[in-house]
Structure 1
Amino acid sequence: MSQADIRKVKSSVDKNVGNRVKIRANRGRHKIDITEGVISETYPSIFLVEVENKLDDTVQTVSFSYTDVLTKDVQMQLI
């Protein structure tokens, strides 16, 4: 995993700020979270996704790192 690979992932996420994504996150020990949200902000090593809770209409902000995307611990798909 090189810095160039991380920059490619970051630029791809930067281009999709404001777009809706489906995220499949491997949380370890056979725990997998599948959520949908909107990419809200990007930073040098992480990006933020706003996820709506449909039960009580609250918005939760979740952060992911670009290295998680490279190692496939986090998989994203545009909706």
Structure 2
Amino acid sequence: MATKNPLNEIKRNLDGYIGEKILLRANGGRRKTIERMGVLEETYPSVFVVKLENTGNSFKRVSYSYADILTETVELTVCKDDQEHIRVMYVEG
């Protein structure tokens, strides 16, 4: 019997949200939480890339691993419209 890989499940879930606006909350260390808006730009086998909203005259990209979502170091919330928000997370089952 094949076992499910939670990291693959998270990646497959994120694949459906490429190009969507997201709210990113990440642990910044020393009791800091970073909260930024951006767009899920791409998913790769081990990481995903978020293009953050404009900060001055440049765009910044950040990447995180799927394990960051699994361990809840990073939280992603997809903002479909003003009223619908979908939190991306892994639920065992």
| Same fold by TM-score greater than 0.5 | yes
Does the C-alpha gap of structure 1 residues 19 and 30 become closer, same or farther in structure 2, counting only changes over 3 Å? same
Which has the greater radius of gyration? 2
What is the identity, as a one-letter code, of the residue corresponding to 2:70? L
Q: Which runs of 4+ in 1 moved over 3 A?
A: none
Higher strand share: 1
CA displacement at 1:3 relative to structure 2: 6.3
Query: Residues 52-72 of structure 1: CA distance to partner in whole angstroms, max 9, x if unpaired?
Result: 234x24211110110000000
CA displacement at 1:27 relative to structure 2: 2.0
Structural RMSD (CA) = 1.5
Mapped partners of 2:4, 2:64: distance in 1: 17
2:37: which partner in 1?
36
Does the C-alpha gap of structure 1 residues 74 and 39 become closer, same or farther in structure 2, counting only changes over 3 Å? same
The answer to whether 1:66 aligns with 2:66 is: yes
* Contact 2:36/2:53 (<8 A) preserved: no
Larger RCO, structure (CA 8 Å, separation 6 or more): 1
Structure 1 segments unaligned to the other structure (5+ residues): none
Structure 2 segments unaligned to the other structure (5+ residues): 80-93
2:47: which partner in 1?
46
1:6: which partner in 2?
7
Mapped partners of 1:77, 1:45: distance in 2: 20
* SS of match in other structure, 1:24: strand
2:85: which partner in 1?
none
* TM-score, structure 1 as length reference: 0.89
* TM-score, structure 2 as length reference: 0.76
